[in-house]
Amino acid sequence: MANNGYILIDMNNDQATVKKPLSLRIFSLAQSTGFKCHEVKEDCVFSLENKDDNHILFLLEGKLKFSLNNFVNRKINSKEFVFIPIAADVKCKTLEYSRIILFTVDNPMAYFDKEYTNSLLERCSQCEQSFIKLPFYEPVENFVNHLILYAGHKINWKLLQEIKEMELLTVLKSFYRKEEISNFFYPVIGKSPHFRMQVLRNYRQESHVDGLAQRIGIEKRSFSFQFKEEFNMSPYQWLLNQKAKHIHFSLAESDKTLDEIRAEFGFKFAGHFTRFCKKQFNCTPVRLRRQLAYES
């Protein structure tokens, strides 16, 4: 295999800096918030190190094989972009030389006014949880090209950072239909954005309802009521659904053994893990892993 690596243009320092290619086949992106530009050689595998924030991945050039939670081996083509919510499992493989801009943000909904957010929320009741990617419309293409242009010059990026973040979200709001935006940002759109973000940021550290409520700092009864208002289901059922997504990803994309996956997700006995998979996926973990390997 050829020597693979990537070039990172870090636009979060006082001045944009270009780091030399790394001879790594597997690496992580997004160690901090803001914009980063990456040039990635063919046949590189990468993940996201930062799972505490949201990300938008813009593919300027190239082609990716992309897995996000239970959506496995999806293709992202040149001039398309996807949203990666907090706590998501992600794995990408470049199918050819690719240029990527990764925008990492605490909460994209904070950039939208309440009226617009409420209009998105109304449409979320009709959203289906599916893998969404959006095409570059001309304003987005101009935006990302400007970022590349700025990265090639010695400028004080910190002065532009907040302005460019606001510009990007304004472009998305202005040039994409509300149906597109509501589907795109579906995981983080809610009646109570702060509460939703707290849940998303903490649930992977607390697999039980009591622990999650305590971690967020809300009495259990109030937490359960607010949770059902926000997510339209009980916290117990929601946590089961999230566990199923992450197990699905691990079976598809990790090299861990079944015993390692079982232990990671808190199953003391193999039989309990098998019954969970049968209920969630209608098949055993062994069979599901084989199916996913065949589909890849």
pLDDT in tens, 78-111: 999 999 999 999 999 999 999 999 999 989 998 8
End position of a domain, from candidates 164, 187, 210: 187
Same domain? 157 vs 255: no
Q: How confident is the model at residue 273 (pLDDT cuts 50, 70, 90)?
A: very high
Segments forming the whole domain that contains residue 222: 194-295
Task: For residue range 44-70, list pLDDT tens digits in order.
Answer: 888 887 888 999 999 999 999 999 998
Same domain? 13 vs 41: yes
How many domains does the chain contain in total?
2
Q: What is the mean pLDDT of residues 228-249?
A: 94
Location of structure tokens 């990635």 = 40
In percent, the amount of the chain with pLDDT more than 70 equals 86
Q: How confident is the model at residue 161 (pLDDT cuts 50, 70, 90)?
A: confident
Same domain? 65 vs 162: yes
Given this model, what pLDDT does residue 285 score? 94
Which residues fall within 8 angstroms of residue 211, CB to CB, at 6 or more apart?
A: none
Same domain? 11 vs 147: yes
- Cα(53)–Cα(48) distance, rounded to whole angstroms? 10
CATH at residue 198 = 1.10.10.60
Dihedral sign computed on CA atoms, order 77, 82, 86, 88:
negative
For residue 232, report the phi and psi dihedrals to the nearest 5 degrees.
60, 30
Q: Which pTM was predicted? A: 0.87
Same domain? 242 vs 115: no
- Cα(279)–Cα(259) distance, rounded to whole angstroms? 19
Same domain? 33 vs 167: yes
CATH at residue 126 = 2.60.120.10
Task: For residue range 114-146, list pLDDT tens digits in order.
Answer: 899 999 988 876 666 778 999 999 999 999 998
| Residue 1 falls inside a structural domain | no
Same domain? 156 vs 230: no
Same domain? 106 vs 247: no
